[in-house]
């Protein structure tokens, strides 16, 4: 018999099928549709106990193992097609459902890609939709494309129900009918709204296409022309780019002749340069990093991206309903790219698959959704003794766990980066195609920027929440806010005026806090019971909260009420089982954040020397540039988790000096001619000294 999977190992195909079977068997007389089936992580106290044995090398056959569980999200479909939404927990070893909860009608489950398909089918079958398109008198080479979106919030006048909206574009079929021709440059000023339960088109919104001075209502369009008459192509697939792709960018390859420095074992365990952690993946969160240790010391229990909201700022109805919650509504894991199809990394790459379940219960392998590789990030540390001219320099090697989402027009590249200096960075790169709508010829708008003729890219924000469940040498931690503050000149403490004071304020009750970069405000997560033997300060890691703009929407708006989390940079809460969602578990079609960080904070828990959770909120206000079109260059944001008196010295001090013999000397752009290049440094990675490269 194969050994039992590790408690953090993602569900296998077989386990997922078992869980599905148990759900179906529970409801023999009903139509069931599945939303998600994922590992139900063991409760923390059980898992911690197990991990402690594992870390100590004391696991035996007889050790208590947390039961292997699955969490199933599914619907019972009624005759009128309305859904009853359930969340069940299945004990896979006992083969039975141990919990089953009908989620109240006040909450809506997140969307599935199957629901998106339904939206498209309903529109395409709708004579009303067809008539609305025909009204526009588009030329016959324009093929209509519907881009499904969540609906936003229910509003006054909406019947209760489950809604989706569609942005509508047209694809110009004249260039060989290429299915990847960029249809976003032809925005059709219609938004159909569909009731998913009824499978009905509820209405079609006619969109304002005016510009500055036209106000909130649609201005009169030139009715002699169809609304795409002034739009032009803007292609990004290489074979359609005008003039073709450039030819003068020469190959740059990353070679690891001895293979990678990392090791993956036991399905999910990654070991690299004293780091040790496990990787898993869920439909909602994408990659999760568990049980992070450095040199056998606990650092983090769990790292994840909890939520992201993307509110749009165009005040013209119905654009205020463009507000996506890409994790809670969309499902980051569900929308993850197959990375080997995108060729997204250089070097020696390890891919991980995930298992997913389709609407009809079909269990599928979702291949290559996570990639793992090493990368070089420039100089790691350097010092030259100017007396002897001896330079010692190391490279900053990183281990990267990456996943990439495509959400309709847009993509996000998420990376957890571990480096040689004991640091974990969580990076997001925003790219893809900016969301856009039609604007009349020759107009400009204060609601966005014209990025292609007839194309208005609307102003918007992206606000992320990263969930950090720390374990700084154990689970009883305290978060300390630290600032560097000026001290007025005074004879007693600051006679020459050069002193500044470092002020620490421990956070004792659950609360939010904001970034204050002009005070160098940082948050140290420390273990108050363990002092660094050198500095005599508690061992810790620090978070420098990125001081990015918070949610701009008026506090009374639905956008703001649905995303309370996006209104502060840092939230400190006490760990509670299952509390993983910054904007609450059910943002889909929500009218306000329920069960999110604001509610957690409102409990007023003691968080001093406790099992705390830190939520880091950051983002970007994105007023599009023309350069963001047709596909935008990555906009990079990251948070850094850095050791702060956690170690007794720079943990990368024993990294060998770089002396890379593969590097080449260039004489004025022609490689490798001229004199040899002598690279100094002892104990090089390649094991030889004073290599000469020609």
Site residues for its own copies, 637-656, by CB under 8 A, read 642-656
The interface with its own copies within residues 273-302 (CB under 8 A) comprises 273
Q: Is 212 helix (H, G, I), strand (E, B) or coil?
A: coil
- The residue among 76 and 655 lying less far from its own copies, judged by its C-beta, is 655
The interface with its own copies within residues 12-71 (CB under 8 A) comprises none
By CB under 8 A, residue 239 contacts its own copies = yes
Residues 392, 441, 476, 594: which binds its own copies (CB under 8 A)? 392
Residues 519, 599, 609, 637: which binds its own copies (CB under 8 A)? 519
- The answer to whether the bond into 433 is cis (omega within 30° of 0) is no
Radius of gyration of the chain (CA): 28
Could you tell me which stretch among 71-79, 311-319, 355-363, 584-592 binds its own copies (CB under 8 A)? Answer: 311-319
- The residue among 94 and 256 lying less far from its own copies, judged by its C-beta, is 256
Contact 397, 380 (CB under 8 A): yes
Residues 94, 499, 576, 602: which binds its own copies (CB under 8 A)? 499
Q: How many residues bind its own copies (CB under 8 A)?
A: 195
Contact 421, 396 (CB under 8 A): yes
- The residue among 459 and 478 lying less far from its own copies, judged by its C-beta, is 459
Nearest partner of 646 among 493, 410, 472, judged by Cα: 472
Backbone angles phi, psi at 341, to 5 degrees: -80, -15
By CB under 8 A, residue 210 contacts its own copies = no
By CB under 8 A, residue 506 contacts its own copies = no
The interface with its own copies within residues 336-355 (CB under 8 A) comprises 337-338, 340-351
Residues 376, 441, 476, 599: which binds its own copies (CB under 8 A)? 376
Binding mask 107-146 for its own copies (x = CB under 8 A): ----------------------------------------
Q: How far apart are the first and last CA of the chain?
A: 56
Backbone angles phi, psi at 279, to 5 degrees: -115, 135
- The residue among 80 and 258 lying less far from its own copies, judged by its C-beta, is 258
Q: In whole angstroms, how close is the CB of 360 to its own copies at the nearest point?
A: 19
Q: In whole angstroms, how close is the CB of 29 to its own copies at the nearest point?
A: 35
By CB under 8 A, residue 452 contacts its own copies = yes
Contact 668, 690 (CB under 8 A): no
Nearest partner of 41 among 353, 307, 290, judged by Cα: 290
> 């495509």: which residue's tokens?
406
- The residue among 81 and 561 lying less far from its own copies, judged by its C-beta, is 561
Could you tell me which stretch among 30-38, 129-137, 440-448, 588-596 binds its own copies (CB under 8 A)? Answer: 440-448
Q: In whole angstroms, how close is the CB of 484 to its own copies at the nearest point?
A: 5
CA distances, 309 to each of 77, 201, 437, 550, 620 (Å): 29, 26, 20, 11, 11
- The residue among 174 and 603 lying less far from its own copies, judged by its C-beta, is 174
Residues 391, 529, 578, 606: which binds its own copies (CB under 8 A)? 391
Catalytic option among 410, 447, 541, 586: 410
Q: In whole angstroms, how close is the CB of 76 to its own copies at the nearest point?
A: 28
- The residue among 192 and 651 lying less far from its own copies, judged by its C-beta, is 651
Residues 557, 594, 599, 609: which binds its own copies (CB under 8 A)? 557
How deeply is 581 buried, as exposed, middle or buried, from its count of CB atoms within 10 A (0-12, 13-18, 19+)?
A: buried
By CB under 8 A, residue 176 contacts its own copies = no
- The residue among 83 and 415 lying less far from its own copies, judged by its C-beta, is 415
> 């069931």: which residue's tokens?
32
The interface with its own copies within residues 665-694 (CB under 8 A) comprises 665-672, 677-683, 685-686
Residues 395, 462, 467, 574: which binds its own copies (CB under 8 A)? 395
- The residue among 284 and 642 lying less far from its own copies, judged by its C-beta, is 642
Residues 356, 449, 481, 510: which binds its own copies (CB under 8 A)? 449
Q: Is 290 helix (H, G, I), strand (E, B) or coil?
A: strand
- The residue among 328 and 643 lying less far from its own copies, judged by its C-beta, is 643
Contact 444, 467 (CB under 8 A): no
Residues 60, 62, 238, 360: which binds its own copies (CB under 8 A)? 238
Nearest partner of 302 among 665, 47, 606, 594, judged by Cα: 47
CA distances, 189 to each of 118, 158, 326 (Å): 21, 21, 24
Token representation of residue 201: 């088109």
Q: In whole angstroms, how close is the CB of 670 to its own copies at the nearest point?
A: 6
Contact 379, 395 (CB under 8 A): yes
Q: In whole angstroms, how close is the CB of 160 to its own copies at the nearest point?
A: 20
Total Cβ atoms within 10 A of residue 677: 15
- The residue among 585 and 681 lying less far from its own copies, judged by its C-beta, is 681
Total Cβ atoms within 10 A of residue 46: 15
CA dist., res. 596 & res. 603, Å (int): 12
By CB under 8 A, residue 233 contacts its own copies = no
Q: What DSSP string runs through 605-638?
A: -B-TTB-EEEEEEEEEEE---GGG-SSEEEEEEE
Catalytic option among 75, 172, 326, 645: 326
Is 554 marked active-site?
Answer: no
> Exposure pattern of 421-440 as b/e (b: 16+ CB <10 Å)?
bbbbbbbbbbbbbbbbbbbb
Is 50 marked active-site?
Answer: no
Residues 576, 603, 664, 694: which binds its own copies (CB under 8 A)? 664
Own/partner contacts of 348-356, CB < 8 Å, gap of 24 or more, are 348/256, 348/259, 348/260, 348/373, 348/374, 349/373, 350/260, 350/262, 350/264, 352/268, 352/279, 352/281, 354/10, 354/281, 355/10, 355/11, 355/12, 355/13, 355/16, 355/37, 356/283
By CB under 8 A, residue 596 contacts its own copies = no
Nearest partner of 356 among 31, 113, 16, judged by Cα: 16
Residues 310, 558, 580, 597: which binds its own copies (CB under 8 A)? 558
Residues annotated as catalytic are: 326, 410
């Amino acid at each position: 018999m194969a050994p039992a999977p590790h408690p953090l190992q993602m569900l296998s195909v077989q386990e997922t099928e078992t869980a599905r079977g148990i759900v179906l068997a529970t409801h023999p007389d009903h139509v069931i549709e599945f939303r998600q089936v994922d590992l139900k992580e063991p409760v923390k106290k059980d898992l911690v106990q197990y991990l402690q044995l594992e870390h100590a090398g004391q696991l035996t056959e007889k050790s208590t193992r947390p039961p292997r569980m699955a969490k199933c999200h599914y619907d019972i479909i009624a005759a009128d097609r309305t859904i009853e939404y359930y969340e069940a927990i299945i004990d896979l070893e006992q083969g039975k459902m141990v919990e089953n909860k009908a989620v109240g009608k006040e909450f809506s489950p997140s969307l599935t890609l199957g629901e998106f398909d339904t939206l498209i089918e309903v529109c395409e079958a709708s004579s009303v939709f067809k008539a609305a398109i025909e009204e526009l008198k588009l030329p016959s080479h324009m093929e209509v494309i519907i881009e499904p979106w969540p609906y936003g919030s229910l509003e006054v006048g909406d019947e209760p129900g489950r809604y989706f909206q569609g942005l509508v574009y047209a694809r110009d079929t004249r260039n060989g009918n290429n299915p990847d021709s960029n249809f976003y440059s032809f925005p059709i000023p219609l938004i159909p709204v569909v009731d998913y339960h009824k499978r009905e088109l509820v209405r079609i919104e006619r969109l304002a296409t005016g510009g500055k001075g036209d106000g909130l209502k649609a201005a009169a369009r030139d009715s002699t022309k169809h609304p795409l008459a002034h739009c032009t192509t803007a292609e990004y697939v290489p074979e359609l780019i005008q003039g073709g792709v450039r030819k003068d960018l020469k190959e740059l390859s990353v070679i690891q002749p001895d293979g990678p420095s990392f090791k993956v074992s036991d399905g999910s365990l990654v070991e690299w340069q004293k780091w040790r952690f496990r990787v898993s993946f869920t439909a909602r969160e994408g990659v999760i990093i568990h049980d992070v240790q450095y040199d056998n010391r606990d650092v983090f229990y769990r790292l994840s991206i909890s939520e992201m909201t993307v509110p749009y700022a165009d005040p013209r109805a119905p654009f205020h309903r463009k507000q996506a919650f890409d994790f809670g509504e969309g499902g980051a894991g569900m929308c993850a790219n197959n990375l080997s199809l995108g060729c997204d990394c250089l070097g020696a790459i390890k891919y991980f698959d995930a298992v997913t379940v389709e609407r009809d219960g079909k269990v599928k392998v979702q291949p290559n959704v996570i990639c793992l590789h090493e990368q070089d990030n420039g100089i790691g540390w350097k010092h030259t003794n100017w007396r002897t001219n001896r330079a010692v320099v190391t490279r900053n090697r990183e281990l990267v766990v990456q996943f990439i989402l495509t959400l309709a027009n847009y993509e996000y590249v998420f990376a957890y980066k571990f480096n040689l200096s004991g640091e974990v960075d969580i990076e997001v790169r925003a790219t893809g195609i900016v969301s856009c709508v039609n604007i009349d010829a020759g107009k400009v708008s204060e609601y966005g920027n014209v990025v292609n003729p007839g194309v208005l890219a609307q102003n918007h924000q992206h606000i992320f929440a990263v969930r950090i469940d720390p374990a700084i040498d154990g689970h009883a931690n305290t978060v300390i806010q630290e600032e560097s503050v000026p001290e007025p000149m005074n004879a007693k403490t600051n006679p020459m005026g050069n002193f500044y004071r470092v002020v620490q304020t421990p956070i004792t009750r659950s609360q939010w806090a904001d970034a204050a970069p002009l005070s160098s405000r940082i948050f140290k997560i420390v273990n108050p019971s363990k002092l660094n033997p050198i500095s005599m300060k508690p061992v810790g890691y620090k978070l420098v909260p990125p001081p990015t703009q918070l949610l701009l929407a008026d506090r009374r708006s639905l956008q703001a009420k649905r995303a309370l989390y996006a209104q502060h940079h840092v939230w400190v809460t006490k760990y509670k089982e299952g509390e993983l969602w910054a904007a609450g578990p059910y943002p889909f079609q929500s009218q306000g954040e329920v069960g999110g960080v604001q509610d957690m904070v409102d409990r007023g828990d003691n968080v001093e020397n406790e099992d705390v959770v830190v939520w880091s909120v950051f983002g970007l206000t994105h007023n599009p540039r023309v350069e963001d079109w047709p596909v935008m260059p990555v906009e990079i944001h990251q948070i850094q988790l850095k050791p702060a008196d956690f170690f007794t010295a720079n943990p990368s001090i024993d990294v060998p000096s770089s002396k890379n013999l593969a590097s080449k000397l260039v004489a004025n752009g022609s490689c490798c001619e001229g004199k040899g290049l002598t690279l100094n440094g002892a104990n090089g990675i390649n094991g030889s000294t004073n290599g000469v490269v020609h």
